[in-house]
Amino acid sequence: MSHEIVRTSETAPPPPKEYPIDEVVFNPPIDIFETAEGLVLQADLPGVATDSLELQIQDNKLSLFGKVSLSVPSEARLIHQEYQVGHFLRSFILSDEVDHERISAKLNQGVLEVVLPRLSKPEPRRIQIQID
């Protein structure tokens, strides 16, 4: 199907070995919407700072790993809990329609935005017919 540019993986793969995970890891919620230029992916990563976010493209797989640092001092005692704090990991399969070279990303107030531009179609080329 031509509109299947980004496919989200059904289950999060186990975190790569090099990350020292000692807390919980979540699959962050995402939005994907179309624009005139391509697709935009937004992911909620509360508590992740720019320097603790890793965004990787390998072959056609885009993975994000956001490491959360606690927003309270370590000596603070948790006395009431309604949510768990954890790192974020999720990966996506990009189709060939995405121009991998022009992918850009920014992180603002805990939201990662990845812009996935569509590959521009080459202009039709006129082929000269030679007469022998």
Binding test (CB under 8 A) with another protein, winner from 81, 104, 128, 130:
81
The CB-of-77 to another protein minimum distance in angstroms stands at: 5
Which residues have a Cβ under 8 Å from the Cβ of 92 and sit 6 or more positions away?
6, 7, 8, 9, 41, 61, 62, 63
Q: Which two tokens stand for residue 78?
A: 């948790």
Residue 97 binding another protein, by CB under 8 A:
no
Residue 39 binding another protein, by CB under 8 A:
yes
Binding test (CB under 8 A) with another protein, winner from 55, 105, 111, 119:
111
Residue 80's Cβ-count burial label (10 Å; 0-12, 13-18, 19+) is exposed
- Cα 28 to Cα 43: distance, rounded to the nearest angstrom: 6
Query: Between residue 44 and residue 73, which ones bind another protein under the rule CB under 8 A?
Result: 44-49, 71-73
Interface residues toward another protein, by CB under 8 A: 1, 3, 6, 8, 29-35, 39-40, 42-49, 71-73, 75-83, 85, 108-111
